[in-house]
Structure 1
Amino acid sequence: MEDTIFNENRKLKRQLDNLLRRARTNEQKQELFDSFGFEVISANTPAQLRDYVLFQMQARFQLHDVVMTLIDFDRDAEKLFYGHDTDAKSLYESKLLILDTEKDQQQISEMSIYPVLGPDVLTRFDWMLAGIDDIDSCKSAALLPLMRNNKLIGTLLLLSRDVNRYQTGIATTFLQKLSAMTAVAIENCLNQQRIKEIGYQDPLTQAYNRRYFDLRFNDEIERSLRQGDNLACMFLDVDFFKKVNDTYGHHIGDLVLTQLVNLIKEQVRACDVVARYGGEEFAVVLPGVTLELATEIAERLRKAVQSDKRLTCGQGGLNVTISIGLEILSSLNDKNLSTKEIGDQLLQHADEALYKAKTSGRNQVVVYVEEKI
């Protein structure tokens, strides 16, 4: 009788110990999820959030990899997450999938608004895994919907080498809480970045303003020097712009500037920086170009402006043209200049080249050449 009671007590004690261990494990998991969730919520920029989710989440939760897929309703997600950071884009583009609402309708239709856990996730959503290394070692996965106001904005895919790590119906509460906090963080970061972008734009033309140009110009110079790349700086100015305003009115002048910016953006690359520097003068930064390519781009732009009917004022009236001054980073011989001094020289030389273009006939591209004394 005593042996029976003793065995039952031992059995109950083991059960109690197991329950306590499970409770402690769950408590530790909860603390881990809460701690990381608050860090994600505190992210100040899309770039910071991107690093938290795609890098730190993988390390913190001992995952094989993490893939975040976003539906780009406003068609600005790539710009907001990467800006012009080509290094970050090449590092993360296989883990941050940005879907176009028109081009990627098939993939969007396959996304789930409910958590999906288990090995089947790897085959059901294999299109999300195309860029992941060593995918064959993944044995289970959790697909978590990112929801805001009952609307699916994306998914979070957690990949594990442990076949038992993610199973249907197990530990979904922690995962759903993490995905909910991530969705809130995404919405907050993107909206904050959109507000910053508005502050960097010229309200009339929607080109970048001078404040943004000064910040970005220094960044591009530092990046070019660090990577051994070249960089060109272009100043361009509308010829006889005062005549446009005086003859046709300032509202037509505003229209000319707005259409000019649209045309510039059509002719340059996505990585180039187009800014309104002041009045009818614009600055363009061309990273990673040779002098020949920069001159080709500038000449193509000049011809496009001259021939574009959108920039023709009045019936048979004034045809708008531009003059362009150009300088390139590799032409600066002084290696001891600071980034700001390099930027100042590039701008000064491009401005001097622009002045020469204006005084020698306008509607032309002039590359800066140092005058010999």
Structure 2
Amino acid sequence: MDESIYEKNRELQRKLDHLLKQARANEKKQELYETFGFEIIGASTPKQLRDLLLSQTVERFQLLDVVLCLVDYHKDTERLFFERDEEAQLSYENKLLILDTLKDAEIIHSLAGHPVLGVEALKNYRWMIANLKNRNQVKSAAFLPLLRGEQIIGALLLLSQDPHRYQVGIGTLFLQKISAMAAVAIENCLNQQRLKEISYQDVLTQAYNRRYFDLRFKDEIARCMRWDDDLICMFLDVDHFKKINDTHGHQTGDLVLRYMVGVIKEQVRSCDIVARYGGEEFVVALPSTTLQAAHEIAERLRQAVCSTALNFHDKQFTVSISIGIASLRSLLTAQQHDADFICNTLLDRADQALYAAKSGGRNQVAVYADADLVAH
């Protein structure tokens, strides 16, 4: 056989082997992306979705890091995506960016509606990695828009140390599939959380209901004990509420309760739990708060209510509230108690403090401390 023909055949065989190897690699890559995509779609909680997008993506696709940004159209994305998990927020604070539709309007407008790969991605979206500790190691990036219909809800930025990892026109289809699945998963996850929150809301006042409070209260107590933080339980009751209903009507009474929730929320933090416990009684959990700080909050709240003239249905009148406070730290002793005992005892102490405030003349704050009730 002619030597040149033999060499040509060998060269063709090498090319064929290379193509077959590349085809198998692409097949495995496609299988990996699709499997991962289905896992993202199947994520049932924000925690699972956070782990998949921000941790598992790095491990499975051998990346340096991943950054996710979300556009906060409903002013609730951060709360829903983290489920008030402060530890997760700290863990992902530079990897998950929340964009405000007003403050970050220019940045949102700069988000491309198509994948951007390589040097251009790093150039256009360097702000997404500005606070990463490993930002100087980034040599290549893939910007993937998260689209729902015509609206961009955010973006994923995949980061690599390999300068040749992401190149224009290579692997774009795989990346588009991942971004499409991620967008659907994020939208579904947030909507599920919104529905869950609705089921936990008191219909009349839009505060949380007792069921939600009981669930969260135990979790917050466990977290504060783990971090050696105090937690304050505060019971509030509208003074002479029956008289308000009898004098001004039940519709006016309902408006008073709604007003109360608004005032309470103005005085406490977004991480505090405000719930309607029953009738005209409300309960507030203040995690990581000292007894002194809680007393100051309660006093400001009491003064805000009694110093404001209400005008509902052309009826002008004033109301007052009584408040009872109990501290988690004052309850803890060398003797270990289970979570249910601690929750129930703390609620009972706050309730006893509320009773003392009402018995002492109403429109005042009472503190339960070391088995003594002190009214102010």
Q: TM-score, structure 1 length as denominator?
A: 0.97
Other-structure match for 2:322: 323
**Residue equivalent to 1:282:** 282
Question: Counterparts in 2 of 1:1-373, with a 5 A limit?
Answer: 1-309=1-309, 311=310, 317-334=316-333, 335-369=335-369, 370-371=371-372
Work out the percentage of aligned pairs sharing the same amino acid. Answer: 58
CA distance in 2, matches of 1:114, 1:173: 11
CA distance in structure 1 between the aligned counterparts of 2:277 and 2:321, rounded to whole angstroms: 15
Contact 1:45 1:190 in 2 (8 A): no
Deviations, residues 251-303 of structure 1 (Å, cap 9, x unaligned) = 10110100110110000011110000000000000011111111111111111
Whole-angstrom distance in 1 between the partners of 2:305 and 2:106: 40
Q: Distance in 2 between matches of 1:89 and 1:40?
A: 20
- State the number of aligned residues: 371
RMSD of the alignment, in Å? 1.4
Shift of residue 318, structure 1, vs aligned partner: 3.4
Specify the code of the residue in structure 1 equivalent to 2:331: L
State the 1:3 CA deviation: 1.4
Alpha-carbon distance, 1:119 to partner: 2.0
Contact 2:248–2:315, Cα closer than 8 Å, also in 1: no
Say which SS state the counterpart of residue 276 (structure 2) adopts.
strand
**Structure 1 runs of 4+ with >3 Å offset:** 311-318
- How far apart, CA to CA, are the structure 2 residues paired with 1:166 and 1:264? 51
Gaps of 5+ in 1: none
Partner Cα distance (1:313, 1:182) in 2 = 48
Assess, with a 3 A threshold, how the Cα gap between structure 1 residues 187 and 117 changes in structure 2: closer, same or farther: same
What residue ranges of structure 2 are gaps of 5+ in the alignment? none
Deviations 1:65-123 (A, max 9, x none): 11111111111101101122111111112111111111110101111001100023222
Q: Distance in 1 between matches of 2:72 and 2:114?
A: 20
Deviation at 1:141?
0.2
AA aligned opposite 2:43: A
Q: Structure 2: which amino acid aligns with 1:325? A: G
Q: Distance in 2 between matches of 1:56 and 1:131?
A: 21
CA distance in 2, matches of 1:257, 1:331: 31
Q: By how many angstroms is 1:129 displaced?
A: 1.2
